[in-house]
Structure 1
Amino acid sequence: MLSRLKGISLGNQILIGMVLGMIVGLILNFYVTDTFIKDIVLMNNVFYLGGNLFIKLMKMLVVPLVFFSIVVGVASISDVRTIGSIGGTTILIYLITTAIAVTIALEIGIIIQPGVGLNMGGITETANLTVNQTMTDTILNIIPDNPFSSLANGDMLPVIIFGLLIGIILAKLKEKAETFNKIFTEGNRIMMEMTSIVMKFAPIGVFCLMAKTFGSLGFDGIIPLTKYIICVLIGLAIQAFIVYPSLLVIFTRLNPIKFFKRFISVMFFAFSSSTSNATIPLNLDKLSEMGVSRDVSSFTIPLGATINMDGTAIMQGVAVMFAAQAYGIDLGTSALLTVIFTAVMASVGTAGVPSVGLVTLTMVFNSVGLPVQAIGIIFGIDHVLDMVRTAVNVTGDAICTIIVSFRNKAMDLDVFNGKKPPKEEEHIM
């Protein structure tokens, strides 16, 4: 039995935990009348302990994981200044598309209101509900008075800014700070491994959280979850089939239909594998078939797999609105701007670990004082959505690469338009 469980992927284990948790919760809600067994033993002790232990483990990861990954990511990305306009243009486009993605997600969440009806406020204690500040306060709070205090208290925006500054300085000093750079690199590797270990407890944590939620809410929790899934899928579809094609037309005047006809196989591979990194070779080859220079794509595609997380940003934006509505929290304009900024910064250097987007979602929640308990519910349905997100992520990498290649005259338009075959040295797979 245990050997069979080990053969199931983590994502499927989490999905199984979610379904079992829902079933157990519904059974407790409708068929168990003994309050001692239901409430005292299970709901307020077993499920509460299991769910909140997992939440605390995730919260434990967030500050060091984000801090190390931001420093290491920026330190390596800053080196692209030597590449000139290609590096600067690539990073700018990636960050802009991520900002667009999370903005779209917030708007969808405001319109569809996926969290309305869940009424989580009475189930768990909420976090700090002061989520609306003046714009002046928001800007001032980004700069840490004491960075070590911010690290200790989990104030994520100051932590991000401090990490960005260290990363920039490390890139500038290069070999003069080689030892310090190695410390951050090793620290980042340790945190990635720790994240992988904590994630092994996710199926149990999700089971407990779902059982407690549906044991209290019953079927009332199913409709909001369905609306959450719909919101994320709508956001991903808008990003993939409206935003990206529009950018392609605006900056290159190329035909998006021709792009999708040739790129669809890469999207399906990304969907099935759920990993941007594994799709890099296929993505590079397909772009070569479309006339993109390897000199550009060999830089922009691996970089995009690291920092261009538009699909994850959409999930995080919808999740913020879902949690805010479920807990009855009204997010003001400055809070929404904080979410956009934090989600964009969270995309830098956080790739490489399954479901790491959900770990950094804790950071986004903390930045505006949202209760992180809602993430446990989202965990259960994230595996399926993650497959679609990956397809959107690699599509964004490819579109941005074409734009950068076109603007730097490193693209053969005749090859893209099918007027001539790609060069032999470019078509290597």
Structure 2
Amino acid sequence: MNSFFKNYKGILFLITGIALGSVAGLIFGKSVELLKPIGDIFLNLLFTAVIPLVFFAISSSIAGLTASNKLNRMMGIMAMVFLGTVVIAALLTILAVRLFPLHEHIQRIPLTEVIEKKPFAEQITQLVTTSEFYELLSRKSMLSMIIFSVLIGFATLRAGARATAFAQFLHGGNEVFKNLFAIIMKIAPLGLGAYFAYQVGVFGPQLFGTYARSLGLYYGVGAFYFVVLFSCYAFLAGGFRGIKTYWKNNIIPSATAVGTCSSIATIPANLEAAEKMQIPDYIANVTVPLGATLHKDGSSISSIVKMAVVFAMFGQSFNSADVIFLAVGMTVLVSIVEGGIPNGGYVGELLFISAYGFPPEALPPAMIIGTLVDPMATLLNATGDTVAGMLVTRFTEGKNWLKELPLKIQS
């Protein structure tokens, strides 16, 4: 019981804060508007911390690469597998949103500021670049800043020993802002509770229907992806024997993922399962640890659901080709970026809200949904790494890898 509380205490405290805020909103109605500044303070702290946090996290990670990290053929295949499964998860969720539209049942929140519509080419240009350095420090330029962080990381790596002091500065900055973000998130139950009290009090209890439908959609898509798509991946990797091998050895990693709510904590169980699945050590020892931070099928699904809900809440269309194209690209980026950052899902929400020009009021609904779907997201994120390892083995070792490798005793 103590272990369960330790693993889930963040979620439990957050849900408790949201529940208390909801009750306050139902009881006191619009008078709870006086609590809104508490929520605003929390959001402002997040917006302030997120830019340096992401900069240091990305640039220090790249600056810390060594010669052993260079991509060989196996790692190139692994990258394609990771990217392919994340995109498939995103496209499946977009299809589900089209089949089960959320916007028809969602209570709309009036926009406090106008979202400016621009030509698609101009949108892309402004998303990936800025004309002045200081503009990189704005949350509205997060994608530009991420690209700049990547370039800084590679420039530091290229400079080698001459940039040792700067690399140490990046690593130190990463540690400082990781801890700062952890401190800020400790007041999340209070901040989101106050915001939820405000939303329920002002916009009514219809908001509960919004979250119930979005959670129903997520868990439905997640369960389908877990059972059907993972089976398809296993079949592609090793035929019917691949399906049997995968599911026979996926029970312990699945239980570990749900029990710990952590992809990192599931790595040992995944490595043991990978051995029983006959995935070669040289593939498993790279795919599983990297997958824990870079491969996020569950986060891909939640990212699309959160975007669809926010778009519907603010009366914006989520159907146009340019919006969907950006959504898929943003989902891939979010699934990569959030892995190396504490509470990385919240950073992903900040990213897409800023990219699409939504006001700060769009963040709490996305954060609440992200919190409530976390167990299923972790299950998909973690257990997707072993089936990805099977796919990498298939394309690295050949289609008969399950027969060619020595059959290991499976217990």
TM-score normalised by length of structure 2: 0.88
Tell me the residue number matched to 2:100: 112
* Amino acid of the structure 2 residue aligned with 1:153: S
CA contact (8 A) 1:113 1:325 kept: no
Give distance in 2, aligned partners of 1:314 and 1:235. 8
Residues 77-131 of structure 1, C-alpha deviations (whole Å, 9 max, x = no match): 6856635112222122212222222333333334323354443433x624x5135
Give distance in 1, aligned partners of 2:339 and 2:71. 23
Tell me the residue number matched to 1:34: none
Tell me the residue number matched to 1:167: 153
Tell me the residue number matched to 1:18: 18
Q: 2:242 aligns with which of 255, 258, 265?
A: 255
Q: 2:122 aligns with which of 112, 137, 160?
A: 137
Q: Indicate the larger mover: 237-246 or 317-326.
A: 237-246
Give distance in 2, aligned partners of 1:325 and 1:255. 40
Give distance in 2, aligned partners of 1:251 and 1:6. 37
1:413 maps onto 2:402 in alignment: yes
Instruction: Summarize the Cα distance change of 1:190–1:143 in structure 2 as closer, same or farther, 3 Å threshold.
Output: same
CA contact (8 A) 2:26 2:200 kept: yes
Q: 1:295 aligns with which of 273, 282, 285?
A: 282
Instruction: Summarize the Cα distance change of 1:102–1:67 in structure 2 as closer, same or farther, 3 Å threshold.
Output: farther
Give distance in 2, aligned partners of 1:234 and 1:159. 35
Q: 1:322 aligns with which of 309, 317, 323?
A: 309
CA contact (8 A) 1:147 1:159 kept: no
Give distance in 2, aligned partners of 1:280 and 1:269. 9
Residues 356-394 of structure 1, C-alpha deviations (whole Å, 9 max, x = no match): 202321111111112342332343454442111111011
1:376 maps onto 2:361 in alignment: no
Give distance in 2, aligned partners of 1:132 and 1:97. 31
Give distance in 2, aligned partners of 1:81 and 1:197. 32
* Post-superposition offset of 1:172: 3.8
Residues 161-218 of structure 1, C-alpha deviations (whole Å, 9 max, x = no match): 2222223333444444333222222222222111111110100011111111111232
Secondary structure of the 1:129 match is coil
Secondary structure of the 1:373 match is helix
1:149 maps onto 2:137 in alignment: no
Instruction: Summarize the Cα distance change of 1:247–1:233 in structure 2 as closer, same or farther, 3 Å threshold.
Output: same
Instruction: Summarize the Cα distance change of 1:182–1:91 in structure 2 as closer, same or farther, 3 Å threshold.
Output: farther
Residues 142-178 of structure 1, C-alpha deviations (whole Å, 9 max, x = no match): 4424362331233122222222222333344444433
Q: Indicate the larger mover: 320-329 or 50-59.
A: 50-59
Residues 1-52 of structure 1, C-alpha deviations (whole Å, 9 max, x = no match): xxxx9998121000111111111111123xxxxxxxx53xx31x2x210111
* Post-superposition offset of 1:288: 0.6
Secondary structure of the 1:321 match is helix
Segments of 5+ residues of structure 2 without an aligned counterpart are: none
* Post-superposition offset of 1:286: 1.0
Instruction: Summarize the Cα distance change of 1:188–1:294 in structure 2 as closer, same or farther, 3 Å threshold.
Output: same
Secondary structure of the 1:347 match is helix
Q: 1:387 aligns with which of 375, 391, 399?
A: 375
Matching of residues 197-208 of structure 1 within 5 Å: 197-208=183-194
Tell me the residue number matched to 2:174: 188
Instruction: Summarize the Cα distance change of 1:69–1:109 in structure 2 as closer, same or farther, 3 Å threshold.
Output: farther
1:100 maps onto 2:83 in alignment: no
Instruction: Summarize the Cα distance change of 1:185–1:350 in structure 2 as closer, same or farther, 3 Å threshold.
Output: farther
Give distance in 2, aligned partners of 1:311 and 1:131. 30
Secondary structure of the 1:292 match is coil
CA contact (8 A) 1:105 1:318 kept: yes
Give distance in 1, aligned partners of 2:386 and 2:6. 35
Residues paired across the two proteins, number: 403
Instruction: Summarize the Cα distance change of 1:169–1:234 in structure 2 as closer, same or farther, 3 Å threshold.
Output: farther
CA contact (8 A) 1:72 1:184 kept: yes
Q: 1:284 aligns with which of 271, 287, 290?
A: 271
Give distance in 2, aligned partners of 1:385 and 1:80. 36
CA contact (8 A) 1:117 1:220 kept: no
* Amino acid of the structure 1 residue aligned with 2:179: E
Matching of residues 323-338 of structure 1 within 5 Å: 323-331=310-318, 332-338=320-326
Give distance in 2, aligned partners of 1:74 and 1:166. 9
Give distance in 2, aligned partners of 1:182 and 1:349. 21
Instruction: Summarize the Cα distance change of 1:348–1:181 in structure 2 as closer, same or farther, 3 Å threshold.
Output: farther
1:209 maps onto 2:195 in alignment: yes
Residues 221-257 of structure 1, C-alpha deviations (whole Å, 9 max, x = no match): 1111111101221332243233333233334435324
* Post-superposition offset of 1:70: 2.6
Instruction: Summarize the Cα distance change of 1:179–1:338 in structure 2 as closer, same or farther, 3 Å threshold.
Output: farther
Secondary structure of the 2:339 match is coil
Instruction: Summarize the Cα distance change of 1:377–1:211 in structure 2 as closer, same or farther, 3 Å threshold.
Output: same
Instruction: Summarize the Cα distance change of 1:8–1:281 in structure 2 as closer, same or farther, 3 Å threshold.
Output: closer
Secondary structure of the 2:373 match is helix
Q: 2:209 aligns with which of 216, 223, 228?
A: 223
Segments of 5+ residues of structure 1 without an aligned counterpart are: 30-37
Identity of aligned residues (%): 22
Give distance in 2, aligned partners of 1:307 and 1:14. 26
Instruction: Summarize the Cα distance change of 1:106–1:160 in structure 2 as closer, same or farther, 3 Å threshold.
Output: farther
* Post-superposition offset of 1:419: 5.3
Instruction: Summarize the Cα distance change of 1:80–1:138 in structure 2 as closer, same or farther, 3 Å threshold.
Output: farther
CA contact (8 A) 2:89 2:225 kept: yes
Secondary structure of the 1:69 match is helix
Instruction: Summarize the Cα distance change of 1:322–1:292 in structure 2 as closer, same or farther, 3 Å threshold.
Output: same
